[in-house]
Amino acid sequence: DTSREELKRFVRPHLTEERFDHTVRVTDTAHELAERFGGDARNIEVAGMLHDYAKYRPEEEMCRWIEGSVDLPKDLLNYSPVLWHGPVGVKMLEKEWGPLDRSVQAAIASHTTGNAIMSIYDKILFLADYIEPGRDFPGVEKARRLSEEDLDKACLYALDNTIRFLMSKNQTIYPDTFHAYNSLQKKQE
């Protein structure tokens, strides 16, 4: 089994100190959410510790991965490069870390945007990344409150708030962000 220390030694050289501290807080937050809502602790640990692995890779390198890999959606290239580190990170980790559980790969790939059919791991990583204690933005307290009770409602709120924020900044929004919002909204009805 992979220990936290082994994961730390692996990711640390790839991240800034702030991003490394964020990574550890995301992992701890994800464990708390898993105790509340379910999910295998091992998978949570690996997904949390590796989720921002590719965050500081050059855009050109990430772009080449998207162009060259059959499993990465090409339409990412039409959207913000901030969306690339999740999906590309999975490919880089496959090469530079080794095999990962499918559910861990999926959670890392969709941690920035969400997706249409989010697994427990997808939801927990997405939400932990949003509410970890170092985050401070309008709405984070409400997201934390919702995360005490209802995983779907908390994710839905995070997606809603993210979409509104991006629209207020005249940013484009990746379709998976809407797909995630729509499927969780539908479940509320």
User: Contact residues for ligand DGI (CB under 6 A)?
Assistant: 22, 52, 55, 79-80, 82-83, 111-113, 129, 162, 166, 171-174, 177
Q: Give least dist CB 137 to ligand DGI, A.
A: 9
Q: Give least dist CB 52 to Fe ion, A.
A: 4
Q: Give least dist CB 71 to Fe ion, A.
A: 19
Interatomic CA distance for residues 90 and 93, integer angstroms: 5
Residue of minimal CB distance from Fe ion? 129
In terms of CB distance, is 34 or 127 closer to ligand DGI? 127
For residue 187 the two structure tokens come to 């479940």
Interatomic CA distance for residues 179 and 189, integer angstroms: 16
| Composition of the chain by helix, strand, coil, percent to 5 | 70, 0, 30
Interatomic CA distance for residues 9 and 59, integer angstroms: 24
Q: Give least dist CB 86 to ligand DGI, A.
A: 6
Interatomic CA distance for residues 29 and 127, integer angstroms: 9
For residue 161 the two structure tokens come to 């708030």
Q: Is 47 within 8 Å of 108 (Cβ atoms)?
A: yes
In terms of CB distance, is 1 or 18 closer to ligand DGI? 18
In terms of CB distance, is 39 or 126 closer to Fe ion? 126
Q: Tell me which residues touch Fe ion (CB under 5 A).
A: 52, 129
In terms of CB distance, is 45 or 52 closer to Fe ion? 52
From the list ligand DGI, Fe ion, none, partner contacted by residue 27 (C-beta under 5 to 8 A by kind): none
Q: Kindly provide the b/e burial profile for residues 136-173, where b requires at least 16 CB atoms within 10 angstroms of the residue's own CB.
A: eeebbeebbebbeeebbbbbbbbbebbbeeeeeeeeee
In terms of CB distance, is 169 or 186 closer to ligand DGI? 169
Q: Give least dist CB 114 to Fe ion, A.
A: 9
Interatomic CA distance for residues 61 and 8, integer angstroms: 23
